[in-house]
Structure formats: structure tokens, C-alpha cells
A and B are shown apart, each in its own frame.
Chain A
């Protein structure tokens, strides 16, 4: 407050100091400023957003267009292949190849199953952590908030390597303990590998999603809690009937994040692949596209697969948003 007053005084003093002629000049200057306000900002805006748009076009739009372009061509050799190959336009042939490949379609099915497992686990655990830290009885909030968030700071590759050590029998203290008490401990078998990957993803991102939800929880007006307490609501009831409905938007946000993340699953299976026979090079759609590009040197097919993955991610996430928004604010 004091600062504001001070500024105002200085401003007034400054105005008083202006010579008499200035008084007549002032409206003109104001008019000039106003006209610049109409014309100028457009230039300012352009200057300020240009770096973003240049980088965005160069490193985002252009590669996408190039991938789209590449996906319509095929490299054709002939005979023994000792002569230089030709590039031929092949229309949607690469898309047909991708969608008729059991390996690629299988990988799509696999990540959908994975999403069905991972998304609920992620949302529920992030919400549970957020509510615990937000509850009135929570102690050492800052400490726990940082600890839960810490795994997010670990790069995905490192996280996968770390868990990889914990999943391999020869190096894992975890498995020593589990086998000592007689619990099942095959983390890398064909039946358990998806859960082992889900575990890594949850460990890594639950803390981040929790922070998003905590931000939402802290924005809830205290009056609502007071009103609920006056009505005799318990902490649990407040959580269920006040807090969760109030963070509906962040919950939807983290659901979409997780959905996109699971559909684009890549790093974890790539790192765990050498450790297990249960992960092949077409385990997830992203891994399949990577394998086509760098394992089988078929950039064109890889581009088609990447495009398909992008379209599916787009459709699934926007489809999800439509569904929850159609149900509207009434039904949850």
C-alpha cells in the first residue's frame, strides 16, 4: 500500500513539474500512444512470439510434415540390390502394411491393456497422496511432498535401469527378500512384465501428478471447509464431497497426461528389453516404429507407424475429454 501511494505521489509531482506547454502536448501524446496501441502491439506481439513460432515450426511442425511426407513413399531396389535403390510414391501402402502387421496391431492392443491398468492406478495413487498431504492432520508436509515428487526428477532411463536391477534375480535384494518369505517374485515373465512396467511409470509420475492435484486442492476456498464443518462433516466426508469434486479439472488433466504417456510407452520397455525374453522389438507401438526406423532401416514404414500412433493418441485423449465434458459438471 505504502509503495503504491509513493508511486502515485511521484507521478503527480512529475506531472506538476512539466512546463505549461506540456499540458497542451499531453493529450496529443496520449492520442499518439493510443494509436500506437492499436498498430504497435501487433508488431510487438510478432517480435515476442516469433522465436517461439520459428522454433515451433522448425522443430515440431516441420518434422511432422516430413514424417507424413516420408510415410507416402517406399524405397525400392531390384535384382540383388547391388544398384542404387529408387524412391517410389506408394500412397497409403505403408499404412496398410502397418495395420495388417500382427506385431504392430498387437502392440496397439498391448498398450490399450496397459492403459486400462495404469491409468486408474496412477490417478488413484496420485489422488490418495494429494489428499493425505492436504488433510488437516498431515505432518511434515513439505518433506513428504518433496519425497513423493523426487522420483520425477530421476530421468526415465535411469529409473528403468534402477528398477531393472531390482527385477533381475542376481542383482535384486528385493527378490532375495521375496523368495526368503516364499512370495512369487518373477518380475520379468510374460505375465508380469506389464505390471513391472506400470510400477516404474507409477513410481516416476505419481508424485508429479500429486503436485498438480495439490495445487488444485490449495485453490479451494476455506469457506467451503468451514461450511462443511459447521454442517458436521468429517474429514473423510469433506474429502469425498468437497475436495474431490473441486479438483475435477486437475483429475481430468492428469488422466489425459497418463493416457498419452501410456500410449507412447517407450523408454521403460526399451531399457528392460535386454533383461527379459518377454519384451520383443514390437512390444509397444513406439518401440515398433523405433525398430522399423533404426532396426530395420525402413524410415518410411516407421513414419507411417508414428503417424498412426499420433492419430490414436489424439483420438483417444480428445475422445476422453469429450466424454467427460459431455457428462458435464452435473454428473461428475
Chain B
């Protein structure tokens, strides 16, 4: 306790000192230039930064940064993915005062990092770069008007499907959810063993993305209280749709990304998947013999939607500057460069980090022509579909500081519904109750809810 207060006090003092230094820096016009100069460091005596990430091959991007920035030396340490222990390690590091300067943190986990007091306020260093990034992705790192992280990548969703089979069955990629249900029915009639997709009750981020696309969001803030609206009309409509699909046995109920599911992808028993942009690598890797037979279409739409709507699977990932760093300016500069420099983005893209968070993707070679990806989809430039999808992700989605609990609770409830214990709508309602209790148990303010 004592040491924690001291650390916090130290951080405050450091922040105050930095603020003072900036304030003493003279005229406002000079300030950005000064902070930029500070961020590039001194080549003779480079600033050393530590970066924790689990993206494969990200070392190449870090090397590229080091080569171009002699004043800053970034050391990459590869850790286990956040949900598998990486986050626990980061939080323990912050607690112990030996955390890395920059760490990879999922959009869904940033609020719980904030609640744990593990993020550094980098508003003054990062504000000027906001325009480089897609709005909704940038906003995931902004809380109460302050910037805490730089977005890396997201997982915009689209519909992967077996075009050859769809052609054989005489159906087209569904444009609306009604089309989706009709296509599912046709497939069941034409092929005894084939399904349009699975309902992945094991996959909370997937179900959340379906709800995100349906319209009303789940979490928002009202004053200094969280408002929980999981059980809202849009989510209920989405739940009702999938419940009917389950009742009519039009979808499988096996877990996605499981051995059975991979086998079904290989045999064509599962002919479609509403998946994230990174899902391309999963299909190519697990069903290589189906090359050339796939295509990607935008996510089916709800009738009467004002404009095209999509969602992002589990949000995405950010480079967060962790509390306790001695070099917030350099750390921010590195985080911004990593995910906005075209060279770095191109490296990360082929490493499979997700969909870039930058607005201008015209200078990313791999998005224009990718000879390992496009032939698998019969030559289609699937990235055009995902670019459109990423631009259509809702701006107002907020992750709660308890998203890990949200995941396990939702999965348990949805599994129960698939087993026939209540409906999917009940599952979302139960999740709502559990989340309200969870937030209250943490001492957070929660306002009356229900959509």
C-alpha cells in the first residue's frame, strides 16, 4: 500500500514537473516542435524503451524503428498473449515498478487497465496524431478526454463463404440477415451434412460483435456512472434471430476455431463464417486445399438500417504507455510510428496483427496486391471489403472495465441457452444482471439500466 501511494505520488510529481517544463517552454507555437524534438532523443545517448507484445514477427517493425530513430532504442520482449497471462504480468509489473514503457493491450482491456491505474496520460504527446487514425479506433484509447494509448489494429467483420458451393446450390452471398436465414435453409435442403455456419456460443467477442452491429451499444457512461444496456431491443432482436436459427436447426452449434470446425471447413460441411479480417489466415491455414473456392462479402444487414453497419471482433489492440515510464514522450513517439508508418504497417500486416488503425491505407503495398491472400479467394481483393467494414464500425461502443468477466459470463449463459436452458435473449438478460452486479461489487457507480 505504502509503496503504491509513493509510486503514485512520484508519477504525479513527474507529471507535474513535465507540465511545468512544458509551460515554461515559452510561446505556444514552439511547444509542438519542442516535444517532437524531445521525442526523437539524443543519438549519442539514446533513450532505452522496453516494449511488450505478442504479435509474431513484430521484431522486424521494431528493428525498422530503431534504424530510423538513433536517439531511441526500443527493446522488444515477446510475452504470452494478454488474456493468457500477459495482462497479469503487465499489471504485476506496474505494481512492482518494473513494467515496460509500451505494451500491447486489447481495446477491450484498456478500461480495466485504467481502473487498475496502469496507464499513463499521454494526451500532450499524442493529441497531434489523432487525425492519422480511424476515429473509432482512436477513441478506444480516450477516456474522459484524455489519451492513454495509440491504436494498433482492429478486426472488422465480414462474411467468408464457399463461393463454389453457394454457386452450386444456386444462392448468393446474403445481403440481409433475412437472406442469411433463407440461404441457411436452402443449404440444409440441398445438402444433408452442410450448414451455412456455426453459432459459436464459445466465442463471446463474436457474439458481442453481432450485438454491436445490431445497433444499440452495451456500455456507456452517464456522469460518473456506468450505464449497462446489454438487454436492449436491438440485442434482443439479434438474439431472437439466432434463437430461431437454432430452433430450426439451420446452424451448427459447434465451437468455432476448434478441431471439429476446422474439419468442417475442409470438407465444406461449414460453408461460411462471419469472421474478423484476421480470419483469412485461419481459413487459409486450416483448409489449404479449398484454395480459390472462397469469397468474402460484407456482413449481412438488419432491415431498415439507416446506413451500412459492421462490427469489430473483440475490438482490436493498442500500444499503451504504461504507468511509471520515465520517457512518456519517446514511448508515445514509438507507439505512433509503429502503427502509422507505412513500412511498419506493411510489416505488421503480413505478421497478421489485424486491420490497420490508420485512415490512409493507400500507401500500404500489401493491401493493394497480396499474392498469398487474393488467389485463395479466387483473385478477389478481400481487403476492400474489410476497409469498408472497418469504416462502418460504430463510434459509440465502450468496453467496460470488466470485459474479462463479460466474456466468461456471456459464454456460460450462451452455452446454457444452446443446451436448451432458456433462450439466447435470456442469456443476454442474465449477462446484463451479472455485469451490473460485477460493477457494483467493484464499488463502481451504475445507473439504472435496461434498454
Question: Which A positions have Cβ atoms within 8 angstroms of B?
Answer: 75-85, 87, 97, 103, 164-165, 168-171, 190, 274-282, 291, 294-297
Contact = CB atoms under 8 A, between A and B. Distances in A.
Contact of A80 (B116, B225, B418): B225
Interface residues of B, number: 47
A103 B117 CA distance: 30
Contacts of A80: 144, 221, 224-226, 444-445
Contacts of B115: 77, 81-82, 85
B88 interface: yes
Nearest to A164: B259
B301 interface: no
B263 A170 contact: yes
Interface in B183-222: 201-202, 221
B264 interface: yes
Given A85-B443, A87-B1, A171-B263, 18 more contacts: A76-B442, A79-B445, A80-B221, A80-B224, A81-B226, A83-B117, A84-B116, A85-B442, A103-B412, A169-B260, A170-B261, A274-B258, A275-B258, A275-B259, A275-B260, A277-B202, A281-B411, A296-B404
B255 interface: yes
5 contacts: A77-B444, A81-B443, A168-B258, A274-B202, A280-B416
Contacts of A291: 408
Contacts of B144: 80, 82
A128 B418 CA distance: 40
Interface string B384-417: 0000000000000000011011011001100110
B381 to A, nearest CB: 32
Contact of B260 (A75, A82, A171, A280): A171
Contacts of A280: 411-412, 415-416
A139 B419 CA distance: 48
A281 B204 CA distance: 13
Given A75-B442, A76-B442, A165-B259, A297 B112 contact: yes
Given A171-B260, A190-B419, A81 B442 contact: yes
Contact of A81 (B418, B419, B444): B444
Contacts of B350: none
A84 B1 CA distance: 12
Given A77-B115, A78-B443, A84 B8 contact: yes
B169 interface: no
B380 interface: no
A214 to B, nearest CB: 37
- List the 6 shortest-distance A-B pairs measured between CB atoms, nearest first: A84-B117, A170-B263, A280-B412, A277-B415, A81-B115, A76-B443
A275 B442 contact: no
Nearest to B256: A274
A259 B264 CA distance: 39
Contacts of A171: 259-260, 263
Interface in B436-451: 438, 441-445
Interface string B113-153: 01111000000000000000000000000011000000000
Contacts of B438: 296
Nearest to A83: B117
B85 interface: yes
Contact of B401 (A81, A103, A276): A81
B78 interface: no
Contacts of B112: 297
B311 to A, nearest CB: 22
Contacts of A87: 1
B253 interface: yes
B419 A281 contact: no
Contacts of B261: 170
A246 to B, nearest CB: 47
A276 B418 CA distance: 10
A277 B411 CA distance: 9
A75 B416 CA distance: 30
B117 A85 contact: yes
A97 B269 CA distance: 45
B255 A275 contact: yes
A296 B4 CA distance: 22
A190 B409 CA distance: 18
A80 B438 CA distance: 13
Contacts of B143: 82
Contact of B114 (A75, A82, A275): A82
B436 to A, nearest CB: 14
A75 B401 CA distance: 13
Given A280-B415, A295-B407, A296-B408, A81 B259 contact: no
A77 B114 contact: no
B122 to A, nearest CB: 15
Which of the listed residues B112, B402, B412 has the most CB atoms from chain A within 10 Å of its own CB? B412
Interface string B75-89: 000000000010010
Which of the listed residues B1, B116, B418 has the most CB atoms from chain A within 10 Å of its own CB? B116
B431 to A, nearest CB: 13
Contacts of A295: 404-405, 407-408
B169 to A, nearest CB: 21
A168 B408 contact: no
A137 B372 CA distance: 64
Contacts of B419: 190, 277-278
Nearest to A88: B443
Contacts of B401: 77, 81
B121 to A, nearest CB: 11
Contacts of B405: 295-297
A72 B224 CA distance: 28
Which of the listed residues A76, A80, A170 has the most CB atoms from chain B within 10 Å of its own CB? A80
